[in-house]
Amino acid sequence: MLKFATKRIGLALVIAALSVTLLFIIIHLIPGDPARTMLGPRATAEMIADLQARMGLDKTLVEQILIFFGNMLRGDLGMDIFSNRPVATIVFEQLPHTLALILSAIAWSATLGIFLGCFSAVRRNSLADRITGVLAVSFIAAPAFVIALYSLLLFAVKLKWFPAIGAGEPGDIGDIIWHLVLPSFAIGLSWVGYIARLVRASMLEIMGEGHVRTARAFGLPENWITYRYALKLAILPTVTVIGVGMGFLLSAAVFAEIVFSRPGLGKLVIDSITTRNYPVVMGSVLVSTILFVASTTLSDIVNAILDPRIRQAK
């Protein structure tokens, strides 16, 4: 187990390092100079040279990457050009809002998804199963930001059941949850579909396996078999999907944060793009990428702990 975890974490570190490098290279291949873009068309040559030096853009690409990695390992993501505060501080101020949104979305969508998947697997090929199936596909297909807009329009603007703007009073848990409902609903909806389909498929597979037949042969009650044995195994793939889902949710959260004017990583990036605050954009993208790599790694390891077959295979 330890060997699997070490190997997996090693791979994750390599991937994280590569993706940071790739981001750097793409930015250098793209025509355009961050310093020039940030200062706008009226900047003088000296101003540009000065900013380039401050951002380290006058060094070679390899030097820049190495310096960047060095700083990153010390938790230094550069300085915000406007407020002169460390980028890391700004990003980590916003991160909890995004994490709260994503985790709440995972929580409700996984609960409902597992229930629906189980529900339709037990009633395989019935009308209820078919309807759940079509619903699941429709949820998957609906773009999160359209759902966000529609729910804003219906539940916040027209019916006024939920607030339209912000993340709620800091410290007031009830108010924070109140503000989370709509954004969390919007980005979680398609995951209900994914998880329901996944759980249904793996339930059906497991119900056909030998140990379930043996349990039946021993005369165990059908409910006992379904919920105590089959469901326990059928939930496993969900763990992997949630790890991968983190990336999709980080993307969807950008839209939810804009639509509901919530603070968070996505809003930070968009605001920083409009003000051409380049270091903050890079810092936020970097943190979200590392978060994504970490969550896929974690879910793989959790999966290996839960399912011995995976450990053996690698």
Among 202, 284, 299, 303, binds other proteins (CB under 8 A): 284
Among 269, 299, 301, 303, binds other proteins (CB under 8 A): 269
| Distance between CA atoms of residues 226 and 176, nearest Å | 37
Q: Is 22 in the site for other proteins (CB under 8 A)?
A: yes
Let me know how long the chain is. 314
In the list 6, 83, 89, 138, the residue contacting other proteins (rule: CB under 8 A) is 138
What spatial distance separates the first Cα and last Cα of the chain, rounded to whole Å?
Answer: 11
Q: Which of 177, 273 has the CB closer to other proteins?
A: 273
CA 27/CA 160 separation, integer angstroms: 44
Question: Do the beta carbons of residue 72 and residue 82 sit within 8 Å?
Answer: no
Tell me which stretch binds other proteins (CB under 8 A): 42-50, 105-113, 206-214, 272-280.
272-280
Residue 192: in which H helix or E strand, if any? helix 173-207
Q: Is 141 a residue that touches other proteins (CB under 8 A)? A: yes
Q: Is the dihedral of CA 218, 220, 225, 228 positive or negative?
A: negative
Nearby residues of 88 by Cβ (< 8 Å), 6 or more positions away: 75, 76, 77, 283
Q: Among the candidate windows 30-38, 43-51, 58-66, 74-82, which touches other proteins by CB under 8 A?
A: 30-38
* 145 counts as binding other proteins under rule CB under 8 A: yes
Nearer to other proteins, 20 or 231 (CB): 20
**How far apart (Å, rounded) are the C-alpha atoms in residues 290 and 17?**
9
93 vs 169 by CB, closer to other proteins: 93
Verify binding: residue 57, other proteins, rule CB under 8 A. Answer: no
CB 77 within 8 A of CB 283: yes
Give the nearer residue to other proteins in terms of CB position, either 150 or 224: 150
Using the rule CB under 8 A, which residue among 2, 3, 31, 40 binds other proteins? 31
Cα-based angle 84, 87, 93 (whole degrees, multiple of 5): 110
Cβ-based burial of 249 (10 A; exposed 0-12, middle 13-18, buried ≥19)? buried
Backbone angles phi, psi at 65, to 5 degrees: -60, -45
C-alpha to C-alpha distance for 109 and 114, rounded to whole angstroms? 8
In angstroms, give the least distance from the CB of 173 to other proteins: 28
Q: C-alpha angle 82/66/268, rounded to 5°?
A: 30
Member of 264, 292, 303, 304 binding other proteins (CB under 8 A): 292
Check residue 34 for interaction with other proteins (CB under 8 A): yes
Least distance CB 286 / other proteins (angstroms): 9
Region near other proteins per CB under 8 A, out of 12-20, 53-61, 231-239, 302-310: 12-20
Residues 22, 172: Cα–Cα separation, whole Å: 41
Q: Which of 74, 158, 160, 309 binds other proteins (CB under 8 A)?
A: 158
Interface ranges with other proteins (CB under 8 A):
11, 14-16, 18-19, 22-23, 26-27, 30-32, 34, 37, 125, 133-134, 137-138, 140-143, 145-146, 149-150, 152-153, 157-158, 247-248, 250-252, 254-255, 258-259, 265-266, 269-270, 272-273, 276, 278, 281-282, 284-285, 288-289, 292-293, 296
